């Protein structure tokens, strides 16, 4: 499972504005196709990935492509659409970031470093 967070990071600290997670979502978010999914191909189950407002248009396009391919799972489709909504909010959030966190522990940005909560 990958937890997706919309955060606002400033002054070395972060505030989680929204979060979405769903068991099994890594199957759709971790893509092997670097040509069609250059952003999602960076997502793994072993690293935290951060994406900034300038990357949101590309990330939204890739997530919408993933969503189109989901034909038989309304819950997963809703989850992906929720992430798309978070990405749209990120574009207009000062110092916004989308964080994809595959770890079960919660982390926060403190004094410029990611630390366990």
Tokens 């999602």 identify what position? 40
Strand ranges for the chain from DSSP E: 3-10, 13-20, 49-51, 96-101, 107-110, 113-116
Q: Which residues of the chain have pLDDT under 70?
A: 104-109, 114, 116-117
The predicted structure's pLDDT at residue 113: 72
- Report how far residue 81's alpha carbon sits from residue 107's, in angstroms, rounded to the nearest whole number: 24
For 77, counting Cβ atoms within 10 Å of its Cβ (0-12 exposed, 13-18 middle, 19+ buried), the class is middle
* CB-based burial, 28-60: b 16+ in 10 Å, e otherwise: bbbbeeeeebebbeebeeeebbebebebbeebb
The predicted structure's pLDDT at residue 9: 86
The 8-class DSSP code of residue 104 comes to S
Give the residue from 47, 65, 63 showing the smallest Cα distance to 55.
63
The predicted structure's pLDDT at residue 4: 96
């Amino acid at each position: 499972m990958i937890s997706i967070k919309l955060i606002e990071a400033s002054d070395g600290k972060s505030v989680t504005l929204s979060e979405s997670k769903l068991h099994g979502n890594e199957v759709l978010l971790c893509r092997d196709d670097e040509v069609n999914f250059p952003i999602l191909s960076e997502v793994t189950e072993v690293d935290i990935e951060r994406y900034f407002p300038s990357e949101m248009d590309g990330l939204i396009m890739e997530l919408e492509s993933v969503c189109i391919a989901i034909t038989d799972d309304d819950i997963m489709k809703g989850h992906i659409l929720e992430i798309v909504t978070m990405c749209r909010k990120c574009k207009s959030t000062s110092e916004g970031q989308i964080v994809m966190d595959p770890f079960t522990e919660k982390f926060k940005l403190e004094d410029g470093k990611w630390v366990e909560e």
